[in-house]
């Protein structure tokens, strides 16, 4: 008896449609399984509460497959009127296999295996861009530009203690050694350094020329590279001596009005090998590249499609991720891809992190701050 295929009775267009739907269904099935691979996790709304830059959720992109969209993990974090709230920070605890997302009012912990929210907690004074200890168990969580940081137990979200600094708590970096945490208060020209054994301020670095905005540190914690208010460029602090050692202005480009952050340069990162420093330029929609060694030679500039407010790198140094949504090949300076969601809308966010997973368990993570990694294995 002759076998008849269903496709024999269908027009070609209908066959193609059925094949497309089947492929989509297979993709959805795969996306629901625990992930294995190399991914970029992007939290949105990651530029204020603007939903036009990727909507609301935790978007996953496959780094090794041309940064193709994989899935959108539902998240919380809402204003009282039900609108999604600004995402302020993202970080990962490997032992807890959890990603943490802060919004203006609260913090949520999401299990990477189940992709379910473990808990969401509000914090007095609000939340800003946090940083988790290398052992994954303790977090320094800044209030929303108040005068204190909360030290938080990552398992429960409970506050261990508070650290008062100056007036406007903001960006936070837990040092790679786990011994110091670097606290940037917008209202102060000093970078405050907390001792993690006591959770108290041990010393300061600076003064810099103005209040501190985004910053990064190298892997041996000898230098901090700092954006400061009103400077198109960066300054350098010696973390050992506590002195400011350089102030570098971007040459050939004028300062001008910016749409967000109120600062000419808001975003700075070291390449993982610590050879280069990438600095954001909001007005001119550029990323300026410098040598990361004194005298900090200006090397080139890279045009972007939107205003950058942040930048970080993949751990291997291959890709640069400005918050404007481009994926840049760091060596050639070429824009390779633009992040797009499931609806082919372009995605931009200042809050993203790289993860390596095996069967839904994170084995390695990047960071949101563009930290140096030259000495991380020592």
Predicted confidence at residue 18, as pLDDT, reads 39
Q: What is the pLDDT of residues 123-170, one digit of tens each?
A: 989 999 999 999 999 999 999 999 999 999 999 999 999 999 999 999
Predicted confidence at residue 65, as pLDDT, reads 98
Predicted confidence at residue 2, as pLDDT, reads 37
Q: Looking up tokens 């405050």, which residue turns up? A: 192
Residue 64: phi and psi, rounded to 5, are -85, 0
Q: What is the pLDDT of residues 159-199, one digit of tens each?
A: 999 999 999 999 999 999 999 999 999 999 999 999 999 99
Interatomic CA distance for residues 341 and 345, integer angstroms: 5
Exposure letters 64-91 (e unless 16+ CB within 10 A, then b)? eeebebbbbbebbbbeeeeebbbbbbbb
Tell me the pLDDT band of 3, cut-offs 50, 70 and 90: very low
Interatomic CA distance for residues 343 and 296, integer angstroms: 42
Tell me the pLDDT band of 261, cut-offs 50, 70 and 90: very high
Q: What is the pLDDT of residues 274-321, one digit of tens each?
A: 999 999 999 999 999 999 999 999 999 999 999 999 999 999 999 999
- Environment class of 55 (CB within 10 Å of its CB; exposed 0-12, middle 13-18, buried 19+): middle
Confidence check: pLDDT of 49 > 50: yes
What is the DSSP secondary-structure string of 310-327? -EEE-TTSSEEEETTSEE
Predicted confidence at residue 30, as pLDDT, reads 52
Tell me the pLDDT band of 376, cut-offs 50, 70 and 90: confident
Mean pLDDT over 59-67 rounds to: 98
Tell me the pLDDT band of 377, cut-offs 50, 70 and 90: low
User: Dihedral of CA 48/309/241/377: which sign?
Assistant: positive
Helices (H), the chain: 12-32
Are 230 and 189 a contacting pair, CB within 8 Å?
no
User: Dihedral of CA 332/364/121/144: which sign?
Assistant: negative
Interatomic CA distance for residues 297 and 295, integer angstroms: 6
User: Dihedral of CA 264/268/271/277: which sign?
Assistant: positive
Predicted confidence at residue 33, as pLDDT, reads 85
Domains, the chain: 15-365 (2.130.10.10)
Which of 268, 293, 274, 172 has the alpha carbon at shortest distance from 218? 274
Residues written for the chain: 378
């Amino acid at each position: 008896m002759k076998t008849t295929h269903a496709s024999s009775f269908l027009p070609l267009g209908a066959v193609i449609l059925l094949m497309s739907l089947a492929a989509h269904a297979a993709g959805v099935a795969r996306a629901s399984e625990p992930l294995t691979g190399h991914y970029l996790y992007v939290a949105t709304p990651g530029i204020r509460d603007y939903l036009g830059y990727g909507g609301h959720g935790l978007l996953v992109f496959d780094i090794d497959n041309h940064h193709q969209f994989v899935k959108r993990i539902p998240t919380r974090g809402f204003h009282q009127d039900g609108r999604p709230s600004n995402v302020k920070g993202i970080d990962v605890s490997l032992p807890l296999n959890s990603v943490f997302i802060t919004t203006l009012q609260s913090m949520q912990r999401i299990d990477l295996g189940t992709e379910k929210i473990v808990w969401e907690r509000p914090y007095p004074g609000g939340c800003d861009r946090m940083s988790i200890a290398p052992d994954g168990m303790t977090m320094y969580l800044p209030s929303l530009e108040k005068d204190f940081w909360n030290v938080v137990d990552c398992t429960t979200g409970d506050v261990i203690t508070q650290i008062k600094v100056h007036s406007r708590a903001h960006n936070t970096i837990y040092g790679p050694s786990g011994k110091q945490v670097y606290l940037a208060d917008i209202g102060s020209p000093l970078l405050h350094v907390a001792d993690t054994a006591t959770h108290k301020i041990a010393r300061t670095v600076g003064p810099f020329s103005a209040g501190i905005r985004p910053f990064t540190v190298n892997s041996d914690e000898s230098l901090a590279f700092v954006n400061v208010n009103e400077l198109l460029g960066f300054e350098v602090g010696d973390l050992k001596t506590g002195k400011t050692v350089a102030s570098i202005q971007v040459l050939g480009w004028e300062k001008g009005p910016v749409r967000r952050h109120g600062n000419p340069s808001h975003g700075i990162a070291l390449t993982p090998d610590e050879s280069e420093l990438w600095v954001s330029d909001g007005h001119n929609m550029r990323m300026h590249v410098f040598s990361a060694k004194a005298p900090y030679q200006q090397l080139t500039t890279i045009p972007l499609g939107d205003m950058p407010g942040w930048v970080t790198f993949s751990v291997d140094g291959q890709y640069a991720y400005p918050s404007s949504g481009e994926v840049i090949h760091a060596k050639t300076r070429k824009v390779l891809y633009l992040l797009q969601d499931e609806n082919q809308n372009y995605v931009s966010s200042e809050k993203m992190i790289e993860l390596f997973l095996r069967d839904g368990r994170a084995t390695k993570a990047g960071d949101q701050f563009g930290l140096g990694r030259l000495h991380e294995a020592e």
